[in-house]
Amino acid sequence: MHIKKMASESEKTPENSKSEKIPENSKSGDKTEDIIPEKQALNPTSDGQHAMVMEKSVGLFSAVALIVGTMIGSGIFISPKGVLIGGGSVALSLIIWFFCGLLATLGSLCYAELGTAIPKSGGEYAYLIHTFGASHPTWGPVPAFLFAWLAMFVIRPGMVSIMVMSLGTYASKPFYGDCEPPVVVVKLITITVL
């Protein structure tokens, strides 16, 4: 559905003052009217039509919760043992963690720069479509599509499976004391949680 133009201010009545009515779609001959809430902005596109844009409303608490929710994964519960065994000492393990933290900080600074340079919602997909979308009408959106496809079918399921296997391992450890829990038990807990 394409929105051609908004109703003028003089057409507003008291019963629709909180929302604006859009005139009927002249192409289809539809007599129905669409109601767009006042908070949703209509921005003109290059061809003169209007597109709906989401309102930006992320406060400090929401931003901190979002970052903590996306940054803290199951790796913090799994990798310290391997780093300590590989490093051989606590001091070397802390140095390794420090340098890995610096590397992760560089990645987060890149995302901060992308977020301020390309203020669109959609994460990596939006950045890729913005970068490559205009280069070619057919092949421009392909990198964004491939990333979205990989994220949906490979990256996210892999992350979820690792987190759930960590949960299965840690949920079964109290019942086996100093011994490693059997793989079958870990897999059963993992499948049950999934």
Q: Which residue has the tokens 């803290």?
A: 72
Residue spans of the domains in the chain: they are 9-53, 60-117, 122-194
Higher pLDDT, 42 or 136: 136
Is the whole model's pTM more than 0.85, yes or no?
no
7-45 tens-digit pLDDT: 444 444 444 444 444 444 444 444 444 454 444 445 555
150-185 tens-digit pLDDT: 999 999 899 888 888 888 988 998 998 888 899 999
Q: Residue 17: which of 38, 48, 40, 39 has the closest Cα?
A: 38
Q: Which residue has the tokens 């892999």?
A: 158
Angle at Cα 35 formed by Cα 33 and Cα 36, nearest 5°?
A: 140
pLDDT band at 138 (very low <50, low <70, confident <90, very high): confident
CA atoms of 176 and 190, how far apart (whole Å): 17
Q: Residue 104: which of 64, 73, 59, 146 has the closest Cα?
A: 73
56-110 tens-digit pLDDT: 778 889 888 887 877 776 677 778 888 888 888 899 999 998 999 999 899 989 9
* Sequence-separated (6 or more) residues with CB below 8 Å from residue 34: 1, 3, 21, 22
Q: Encoding tokens for residue 151?
A: 């994220």
Would you say 156 and 73 are in contact if contact means Cβ atoms under 8 Å apart?
no
75: phi then psi, degrees, rounded to nearest 5: -60, -30
Sign (positive or negative) of CA dihedral 68, 71, 76, 78: positive
Amino acid 6: pLDDT: 43
Sign (positive or negative) of CA dihedral 72, 76, 79, 83: positive
